[in-house]
């Protein structure tokens, strides 16, 4: 049994972490922090957790995070890096769901996130937590940078192709759509019901912060230069993500067999039969990436459909999967979830 702390337990990824960790057979929830809600029982804010979580929110100072075995940061960008140095010195392992440790190039990180990094010396210690690609490194990691939701869907969808060298890696296209929960629980005009409902819109076409993350880690994992056009969209649904990926074929192969082989032993990647149409509802609330392949008109372009739940496989579920690897638990522990339909 390990002692677990969560920094920032009031957002959507925080409550998703609580939902998963509360039923984990090897976890004792030790502390959940929130400065604004300190003293409030967690189940008062989230009644779904009644009879599952009996803790109250506490301030970080009173949470005794240094006594935990692992601490999750379900916080906005730039928070984890402020607290990482002290926890690292105390021997606490960390899983950061923000972007503070995802880019190894500090100058590039500071350019995209418009802030000075608070602990650049620890960035080199962080392991990128895409389990299907970096499993062995994650096992011994002290700091895990949990991937973003868009990067998870896009990388899992493209990795077998770029690794095999059978597509043009300089001209990849990712047309991706996310549910509104991906924007977080904060109040913003564009995520108000009257703004997001019955609407569909692209955003950040000129440059989304997840673009350098996707390009760097795909390139690092495959040893190939990556050129990617990435266009994110906001869809009028609460949770779910679909990435429609386009790659020009440069070498003929059995693409279905390529994906089947790449993910044959992966518990959380489901490669469907050629021509299948995975949808977001089929992964709602589950830690699953579901993939379907298409080759329209038998032409030179392969279309890959990759769907995840942005809060589960795209955030909290993947974080728990990382924790399981770090502590030698069964990788599926606490994550044997069937999607919620309808």
Annotated catalytic sites, by residue? 149
Q: Quick check: helix, strand or coil at residue 261? A: helix
Per-residue burial over 34-47, b = 16 or more CB atoms within 10 Å of its CB, e = otherwise: beebeeeebbebbe
**What pairs with residue 172 in β-bridges?**
228
Angstrom CA distances, 188 to 21, 112, 185, 193, 314, stand at 29, 21, 9, 10, 22
Sign of dihedral through CA atoms 84, 89, 90, 93?
positive
Query: Mind giving me the DSSP string for 10-67?
Result: SSHHHHHHHHHHTT-TTEEEEEEE-STTTTSBHHHH-GGGTTT---B-B-GGGTTGGG
Write down the residue that tokens 């589950």 correspond to. Answer: 286
- Return the C-alpha torsion angle 26, 282, 153, 130, nearest 10: 20
Alpha helices for 226-285 (secondary structure H): 255-262
Distance, CA of 298 to CA of 288 (rounded, Å): 29
How far CA 186 is from CA of 10, 26, 238, 267, 272, in Å, comes to: 10, 32, 14, 33, 36
| Strand 70-73 to 27-33 pairing | unpaired
């Amino acid at each position: 049994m390990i002692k677990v702390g969560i920094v920032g337990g009031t957002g959507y990824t925080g409550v998703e972490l609580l939902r998963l960790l509360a039923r984990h057979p090897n976890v004792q929830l030790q502390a959940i922090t929130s400065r604004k809600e300190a003293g409030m029982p967690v189940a008062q804010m989230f009644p779904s957790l009644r009879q599952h979580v009996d803790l109250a929110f506490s301030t970080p100072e009173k949470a005794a995070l240094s006594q935990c075995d692992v601490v999750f940061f379900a916080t906005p960008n730039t928070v984890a890096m402020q607290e990482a140095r002290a926890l690292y010195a105390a021997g606490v392992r960390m899983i950061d769901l923000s972007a503070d440790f995802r880019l190894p190039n500090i100058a590039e990180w500071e350019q995209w996130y418009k802030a000075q990094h608070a602990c650049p010396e620890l960035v080199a210690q962080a392991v990128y937590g895409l389990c299907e690609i970096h499993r062995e490194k994650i096992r011994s990691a002290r700091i895990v940078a949990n991937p973003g939701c868009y990067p998870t869907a896009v990388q899992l969808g493209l990795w077998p192709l770029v690794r095999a060298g059978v597509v043009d890696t300089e001209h990849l296209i990712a047309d991706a759509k996310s549910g509104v929960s991906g924007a977080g629980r904060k109040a913003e005009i564009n995520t108000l019901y009257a703004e997001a409902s019955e609407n569909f819109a692209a955003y950040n076409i000129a440059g989304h912060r997840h673009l350098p993350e996707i390009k760097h880690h795909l390139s690092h994992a495959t040893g190939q230069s990556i050129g990617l056009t990435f266009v994110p969209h906001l869809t009028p649904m609460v949770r779910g993500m679909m990435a429609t990926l386009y790659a020009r074929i440069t070498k003929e192969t059995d693409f279905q067999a390529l994906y089947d082989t790449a993910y044959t032993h992966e518990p959380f990647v489901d490669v469907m039969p050629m021509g299948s149409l995975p949808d977001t509802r089929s992964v709602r609330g589950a830690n699953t990436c579901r993939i379907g392949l298409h080759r329209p008109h038998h032409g030179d372009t392969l279309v890959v459909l990759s769907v995840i739940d942005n809060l589960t496989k795209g955030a909290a579920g993947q974080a728990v999967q990382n924790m399981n690897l770090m502590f030698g638990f069964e990788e599926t522990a606490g994550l044997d979830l069937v999607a919620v339909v309808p």
